Structure formats: C-alpha cells, structure tokens
Amino acid sequence: DMQGIAWILFLGSSMLALLGTPLYMVMTTYFNSFEAVVASYGLGYGLIFTFIGMIFFVYVCELFPVDVRNAGVGLSYNIGFCCFGGFAPMIFEAAFEHNTWAPGFLLSLAGLTTTASIIVSLLLQRKGKMQLTHIRPEPYFSPCGVPKKVPVKCEELGI
C-alpha cells in the first residue's frame, strides 16, 4: 500500500466520471458488434470497477472508529445499497426512455459524486474538521509518485 486506499478509489471514480458516458455510448451505438460490447463493457467498465469494486470496503471500514465500526459500516453500506443500488435499474430505465445515453450520464454522475466526496473529505481533514482514518496514524492519500512515509519500528533500528 504505497499510495493509499483513497488514491485508488479516487482514480477509479475519476475514470468512471470521465469514461462512464463514452463507454456506454459505444455499447449502445454498436450493440450489434460483439467486439465493441466486449471492449466497452468487459474491458472498459471491468477496468474501472477493478479500482472501485473491492477497495471500497476497506475505505469505508477505515472511516469509523473501532467502537462503532460494525454499525457504521453496516448502516452506511446497506442504506446506500438500498437507495442507489436497489433503485438504479428503475432509474436507468426511466432515464433511457428520455434519452438513450442517459444511463451513461448517470454512471458518470456517480463517478463525479464519489470523486467530489473524496476531495471534500480530504479538504475537511486538512482543516481539522474531519478525521478520515481510524486504523492508520496518517491519511491514506498521497500524490502519485510520492510514496507515503513508512513508520520504522524500534527493533529495526536496533533500539
């Protein structure tokens, strides 16, 4: 973990914000082309959700202190999944009736929302108004190419 969990989630959500609509447009425009559907859906969204899919759970776990972590993760995940994941097919179908590319816009909007929430939470942490990490001693978002400081144990120094 050299760059941090938030960095990977930020990268994935930024890719979804930028590529959600174009990938959906390719998939709906060339729906008869097996190659276009595999490239846009399988490779495009597959790559994006590699960054978002499983790292999300570790990111959310670190947001809550130990004494309320189980309730915090359980409630936030299930409420979010119910409101957004549960109604997503219905919202996408309704949006599709107005514009065939609207579901792609909604995917990009979801990526933009996640990206914005990460930026806002990092700014609030920098101002001291929010604590993001409850497992690690320091924030878990370092710029690309700048590795985080790794704490050195006393035993390694011979102390």
AA letter at 32 = N
Position 2 scores a pLDDT of 65
AA letter at 8 = I
Residue 153 pLDDT class (50, 70, 90 cuts): low
Contact 24, 40 (CB under 8 A): yes
Could you tell me which residues come within 8 angstroms of residue 45 by beta carbon, excluding any fewer than 6 positions away? 23
Distance, in Å, from the CA atom of 45 to the CA atom of 60, rounded to the nearest integer, reads 22
Position 77 scores a pLDDT of 85
Position 150 scores a pLDDT of 54
- pLDDT(57) > 90: no
In DSSP notation, 65-90 reads -GGGHHHHHHHHHHHHIIIIITTHHH
Widest pairwise Cα distance in the chain = 68
The percentage of residues in the chain with a pLDDT greater than 90, rounded to a whole number, is: 30
Position 137 scores a pLDDT of 56
- pLDDT(151) > 90: no
Q: What is the reported pTM?
A: 0.78
